[in-house]
Amino acid sequence: MPSPKRSIHVVAGVITDVRGRILLNRRTENSDMAGLWEFPGGKREPGETSEEALVRELREELGIEAEVGEWLMDVPQVYPDKHLRLEVRHIRSWKGSPRGREGQAITWVTPDKLSRYSMPPADLPVVAALRHPDRYLITPEPAGEQDHPHWLQRLGAALDAGVRRVHLRTLDSPDRVALAEAAIRAHGKRAHWLLNRDIALAERLGVGVHLGSEQLLQLQARPLPADQLVAASCHDLAQLQAAQRLGCDFAVLGPVQATASHPGATPLGWEAFETLRAQVSLPLYALGGLGPADIAESRRHGAQGIAAIRGLWPTA
């Protein structure tokens, strides 16, 4: 019988300078995953708090005395030899000049270029949390053509409230193409737009596509180029792994809690969500009975935020 995997709690810092650049460490040749870039930090030792561990690690690795800032997220990740929990904290103030005291290369990177650096699986969701929205609106379907003006008005109100990523779910509307075009024309660059399942229309409009779970196993390759987002709805590990193989930019996983839109679905709960999250490196939104007040909870379990219909759609 194989021995149980060890559990490790690692604390990492997102160190940001006055220009908004983020510091990355390169793993040395004698370490696991040598050559990959990561957010600096290290293992929390017995008896240490997370803050104490991160201060010590940054002193040893970079020669700085850091002031540990606010918590960003936790990422559970399963590796072949261990169960890792990566706790991530912001670092915006420190004393000293960062340098690679253990022989490692370091570099300062603007947030928009983080994805160019090869990183360990646990660091990838952190990049998504730093670069992309923490909420993903799934639009309800309009109540007929007469509801289109009101629907567009409420979409604008959602954007005014801070939504910056939108799944245009208008599958059953007879005028769904016209409605999608009207939404994108009216609000343009205010959000990342993804169309529901329609790859051809997304390609024509130059926007993203949100794949249904049934499409994941049918596709052999990513259906859109890198500059057009590809997302997927997932409910189990096989679908998450398929989304990752296709090169999806993110996935939605749920339902976490009971939801009116899927009354027959058995909720995963946060523990099962985290177990699935730990087995892929794909950025995830938690879905199912959630709203903005649940974003912090979702990040405690490795999500970059929440996806919702009712929780993000204005009621008037």
Each residue's pLDDT tens digit, 83-99: 999 999 999 999 999 99
Count CB-CB contacts under 10 A for residue 281: 18
Predicted pLDDT of residue 146: 81
Matching residue, tokens 């390169």: 26
Each residue's pLDDT tens digit, 113-168: 999 999 999 999 999 999 999 999 999 988 877 888 999 999 999 999 999 999 99
Confidence band of 2 (pLDDT split at 50, 70, 90) = low
Q: Which residues contact 255 (CB under 8 A, 6 or more apart)?
A: 262, 265, 267, 268, 287, 288, 289
Average pLDDT over residues 40-68: 98
Predicted pLDDT of residue 228: 97
Predicted pLDDT of residue 173: 59
Confidence band of 31 (pLDDT split at 50, 70, 90) = confident
Predicted pLDDT of residue 134: 98
Confidence band of 171 (pLDDT split at 50, 70, 90) = low
Predicted pLDDT of residue 172: 58
| Distance set, CA 139 to CA 78, 159, 204, 261, 287 (Å) | 34, 12, 21, 12, 13
Q: Which of 64-68, 181-185, 207-211 has the lowest mean pLDDT?
A: 181-185
Residue 241 exposed, middle or buried by CB count within 10 Å (0-12, 13-18, 19+): middle
- Residue 176 vs residue 198, higher pLDDT: 198
Predicted pLDDT of residue 211: 97
The pairing of strands 135-138 and 305-308 is parallel
Please calculate the CA angle 217-172-184 and round it to the nearest 5 degrees: 90
Average pLDDT over residues 70-90: 97
